Amino acid sequence: MIEINQLTKKFDNFTAVDNLSFTVREGEVLGFLGPNGAGKSTTMKVITGFLAATSGSVKVDGHDIATDPLAVKALIGYLPEGAPCYPDMTVLQFLDFIAEIRGFTGQEKQRRIDKVIGDVELGAVCHKTIDTLSKGFKRRVGLAQAILHDPKVLILDEPTDGLDPNQKHQVRQLIRNLAKDKIVIISTHILEEVSAVCTRAIIIAGGRILADGTPKELEARSRYFGAVSVQLTADFDLHKAVASVTEVSGIELSDASGRRHVLLPQQGAQIFSKVLDLAQNERWPVAEFHLVEGLLEDYFRSVTQGTVTGGAPKHETGVTQ
Partner 1 sequence: MRILQIIFKRELAGYFATPLAYVFIVIFLVMNGIFTFDLGGFYVRGQADLMPFFSFHPWLYLFMIPAIAMGLWADERKTGTIELLMTLPVKLTDAVLGKFLAAWVLCGAALLLTFPIWITVNYLGDPDNGVIVAAYLGSWLMAGSFLAIGSCMSAMTRNSVIAFILTVAICFVFVASGSEIVLNAFNWAPQVLVDAVAALSFLTHFDAISKGVLDVRDILFFLVFMASWLFASAIVIEIKKAN
Q: Is 32 one of the binding residues for partner 1 (CB under 8 A)? A: no
Closer by beta carbon to partner 1, 71 or else 190: 71
Burial class (CB in 10 A: 0-12, 13-18, 19+), 214: middle
Of 84, 285, 306, 310, the one binding partner 1 (CB under 8 A) is 84
Closer by beta carbon to partner 1, 148 or else 263: 148
Closer by beta carbon to partner 1, 155 or else 303: 155
Which amino acid is located at 179 in the chain? A
Closer by beta carbon to partner 1, 22 or else 86: 86
Q: Do the beta carbons of residue 243 and residue 237 sit within 8 Å?
A: no
Of 98, 174, 198, 203, the one binding partner 1 (CB under 8 A) is 98
* Beta strand residue intervals within the chain, DSSP E: 2-11, 14-24, 29-33, 55-60, 63-64, 76-79, 153-157, 183-188, 200-205, 208-213, 228-232, 248-253, 260-265, 286-291, 319-320
Q: Is 145 one of the binding residues for partner 1 (CB under 8 A)? A: yes
Closest CA to 310 of 259, 264, 275, 268: 264
Residues that contact partner 1, how many (by CB under 8 A) = 28
Of 50, 236, 272, 289, the one binding partner 1 (CB under 8 A) is 50
Q: Is 108 one of the binding residues for partner 1 (CB under 8 A)? A: no
Q: Measured from the CB of residue 45, what is the shortest distance to partner 1 in angstroms?
A: 7
Q: 73-93 burial, b if ≥16 CB within 10 A, otherwise e?
A: bebbbbbbbebebeeebbbee
Q: Is 138 one of the binding residues for partner 1 (CB under 8 A)? A: no
Residues that bind partner 1 (CB under 8 A): 11, 45, 48-51, 70, 73-74, 76, 78, 80-82, 84-89, 93, 97-98, 100-102, 129, 145
